[in-house]
Amino acid sequence: MSKPSASDQTSAGSALQPEIGLTVGPEPASYEQAVDELERLIQSMEAGQLPLDQLLASYQRGAGLLKFCRARLQVVEQQVQALEGGDMRPWGEP
């Protein structure tokens, strides 16, 4: 049995590369839509029934949705801080 050559490994690795970037998907219309999609992705990934390439695609999409949600939350937090004059108080304090 012969060992795979470097060219065999390179061609096999490059065959996987195009699929990695195809799963970004459109930006969600809202924070709520992103959270809903993220929850669905998590449920399908936790079910353990996805093929490996689809699992990777779901993970990538989820990472993008998480980044979107964090950015939206940061913007909202900045707006609240501006409204409060920068004096943020814990919830429930008068």
Structural domain spans, the chain: 28-87
Q: How far is 71 from 86, CA to CA, in rounded Å?
A: 19
What is the average per-residue pLDDT within 46-71?
94
**Rg, Å, the chain Cα set:** 21
What is the average per-residue pLDDT within 4-22?
42
- Percentage of the chain modeled with pLDDT above 70: 65
Q: How confident is the model at residue 76 (pLDDT cuts 50, 70, 90)?
A: very high
Q: How far is 67 from 39, CA to CA, in rounded Å?
A: 14
Q: What's the pLDDT tens digit per position in 14-56?
A: 333 334 444 468 899 999 999 999 999 999 999 998 999 999 9
Scanning the structure block, which residue is given the tokens 């959270």? 35
Q: Do the beta carbons of residue 88 and residue 81 sit within 8 Å? A: yes
CATH code linked to domain 28-87:
1.10.287.1040
